[in-house]
Amino acid sequence: MLDGPTSGQVQRLFRAARTAARRQRLNAAVRRLLLLLPLPLGYGVLALAWVKWAAPSSDAPAAMAGHFRLLGYGWIVTLCVPVLGAVSGWLSQRTQQLGALALDRYHQSADRVTSALAFAELAPEQRSPWMDAAIADALRIVQRPSAARMYCSCDASICASACSNPVRLVL
């Protein structure tokens, strides 16, 4: 699959593309989780309001226990919604080139990384000299591919500040 003196460099490109794709999947899962997280919070607020103001009188404790059981089941269901949303974000179908496209965007390499990885998957006898030149060009432009540098640390701080203040999530 990868022969020649640049096979180690191409392997670094492959690893960086896989890491970028994995980070994008994780980003999609966290984004859906944060989007759906206010649902159980809102349900909890409404359930508490119902218990405080509109609950039946304590004359019938058996009926009250049935209402609390239903509220508990509803709470469990609403807690499952954000978790299922995060799982669906992680498992959503994505193209194989998504990580390579993210590397191209970050390094501003005009699709050189994506093309190089597609050409490198071919056997050496199937590649033309133009394909080898495209691989060499991508390796020359992107000398140190890193998926870790693609995501700035300010995104994590914004997410942390949003999670620390639940009112921001609801509004």
Residues 86-136: tens digit of each pLDDT:
999 888 877 777 777 777 777 677 777 877 878 888 887 888 888 888 778
- Any domain includes 141: yes
Within a domain: residue 120? yes
Task: Give the tokens for residue 104.
Answer: 């191209």
Domain-located, residue 2: no
The domain of 76 spans 7-170
Is the whole-model pTM more than 0.75? no
What whole-number distance in Å separates Cα of residue 123 and Cα of residue 2? 7
Q: Does residue 108 lie within any of the structural domains?
A: yes
Q: With contact defined as beta carbons under 8 Å apart, do 147 and 23 qualify?
A: yes
CA distance 113 to 13: 8
Tally of CB atoms within 10 A around 134:
19
Residue 148 placed within a domain: yes
Task: Identify whether 45 is part of a domain.
Answer: yes
* pLDDT number for residue 16: 82
DSSP 8-state code for residue 3: -
Residues with Cβ < 8 Å from 15, sequence gap 6 or more? none
Q: Is 67 helix (H, G, I), strand (E, B) or coil?
A: helix
Residue 13 lies in a domain: yes
Give the HSE-up count for residue 31: Cα atoms under 13 Å, Cβ half-sphere.
Answer: 10
What averages of pLDDT result for each successive group of 10 residues across the chain (171 residues)?
A: 58 82 87 92 88 67 74 91 91 76 74 80 82 80 66 50 50 43
pLDDT attached to residue 170:
46
Q: What pLDDT shows up at residue 87?
A: 92
> How many domains are there within the chain?
1
38: Cβ contacts below 8 Å, ≥ 6 apart: 169, 170
Burial class (CB in 10 A: 0-12, 13-18, 19+), 123: exposed
The Cα 131–Cα 113 span in angstroms is 12
Tell me the one-letter amino acid at 1. Answer: M
Tokens encoding 121: 């998957």
Q: What is 26-45 written as a DSSP string?
A: HHHHHHHHHHHTHHHHHHHH
The answer to whether the CB of 88 falls within 8 A of the CB of 30 is no
